Amino acid sequence: MDPCPFVRVLVGNLALKMPAATHRGGGGGSSASGAGVHPTTAPCYCRISLNKLPYQTASAPLLPPSEEGPASCTGAFAAAFHVSKADLDRAAAKPALFAPRRTARLKVSVYAGRRGSSCGGVSSGRLLGKVVVPLDLKAAAAKPVVFHSGWVAIGKRRGAGRKPAAGSGGGAAGHAHAQLNLTVRAEPDPRFVFEFDGEPECSPQVLQVQGRMKQPMFTCKFSCRSNSDLRSRSVQSDPGSGGRNWLAKFGSERERMGKERKGWSVTVHDLSGSPVALASMVTPFVASPGTDRVSRSNPGGWLILRPVDGTWTPWGRLECWRERGGGGAGGDSLGYRFELVPDHTNSGVGVCVAESAVSASKGGRFAIDLTAAQPFGRSGSPGCSPRGSGDFGHGLWPFGSFRGFVMSAAVQGEGRCSKPTVEVGVAHVGCAEDAAAFVALAAAVDLSMDACRLFSCKLRRELSASRAELLR
């Protein structure tokens, strides 16, 4: 399997220093940018954007002006941007005649005030200044690159400090302006990309995507069966299954009469027809009493299993529910939580590696990305590498072998044709079976969008248990 090139742009080590004049009670008539902002009363934050990607925000701690150099910064992670091959190709393309050269630009806008927005979506903070860092992403696709690390003056009054330059951390100009410390680096982050050629409930093929080339990699088989039927099944019909205990534990006795959706499963096969991963709905999606929705307090659950010695062995557990609001324009959202089961963690207990929500109407991305869980080092080494600055040591890291970007999957909104695209970090795929587990997880997330639909809405016939019985 050949991966697709991706680049991950990381921003961190944010800190802010105000001119000495801001600490005195007026007098002197100093008009430096940021005057009147006192470190103890005005929190500051940064809005960080890369080209047309959605912006991210992060706090910028205020430091005393007497502190010199970046040694006082805490090494905190601030933002991460993931740049695909298509974005890299656009950045590397030669511009048309008379057209400006295409350059990736990271912009950091510094605001005084608390994060949030006022009426009309305008930021409630007061803009102190901006920093623009040009990025050569083509170079970063081959090796890690540190584009900037250190202090830079910000502010509009004297027209200096808009672009970081070598040696900008000191001198008279540095004392006349507010100063921002930041580190911007980029590193290769190759990924395997897979694409369903149909909706998961239609038992599609899964294609591996490499540039414009697509080739079959897996096949999926959707079925709708009872949990008792599921518990009796194993890869080789082996009755002595340790995995059955897990299924019995998670397939609780909540299968009562009423509004519920249960028994769905997706089996992923390799091209030889051997099953290599399974996503099984082991906790029914049941409407909460007095409502027609699956609540967070009573979520539906999937178990993601892999074959080990002829037996389905649990690898991860996914829970999903429907939340009011949070989906944009006041709409509902699909909440989710994914955890690794004990056998796949160092601590012996389940560890949550992803918890968020996507819009039920517009969809979004399910992602497992642990970049923010690791310290942001100053070196150019990737935080997810064995020798990276974020290395806690294998025995101390609570997420097992999961580090940095792990996977993401596109999730379409309700009523839309959904053919998930799955990206998996190369570091987390040692064989095709590893990739199959993430494909099964993506299928479970996609099907959960249907499982969490309001029970007043009728499901598509492909998801009907009666239709599944006819197809057996």
Beta-carbon count within 10 A of 168 CB: 20
**Average per-residue pLDDT for the chain:** 77
Instruction: Lay out the sheet containing 405-411: strands in order across.
Output: 351-359, 333-340, 311-323, 300-308, 275-283, 264-269, 213-224, 205-210, 191-196, 421-425, 405-411, 364-369
**Lowest mean pLDDT, pick from 94-98, 150-154, 378-382:** 378-382
Contacts of 244 (CB under 8 A, 6+ apart): 231, 234
Taking only the tens place, the pLDDT of each residue in 354-373 is 999 999 999 999 999 998 88
Find the length of the chain. Answer: 472
Structure tokens at 187: 């590193």
Give the H or E element holding residue 231.
helix 227-231
**CA–CA gap between residue 8 and residue 221 (Å, rounded):** 34
The CA-based angle 156-154-149, given to 5 degrees, is 155
Structure tokens at 431: 């064989």
Residue, of 291 and 225, whose pLDDT is higher: 291
For residue 144, pLDDT beyond 80? yes
Structure tokens at 439: 């494909």
Residue from 149, 83, 81 nearest 371 by CA: 81
Taking only the tens place, the pLDDT of each residue in 88-134 is 777 666 655 554 556 789 999 999 887 665 444 445 678 999 999 99
Structure tokens at 472: 């057996």
Position 168 scores a pLDDT of: 42
Residue from 470, 471, 468 nearest 281 by CA: 468
Contact 235, 311 (CB under 8 A): yes
Taking CA atoms, 81 is separated from 9, 49, 105, 174, 324, in Å, by: 5, 9, 12, 29, 29
pTM higher than 0.85: no
Taking only the tens place, the pLDDT of each residue in 165-209 is 444 444 444 345 788 999 999 999 999 999 999 999 999 999 999
Position 255 scores a pLDDT of: 39
Site of tokens 């970063």: 140
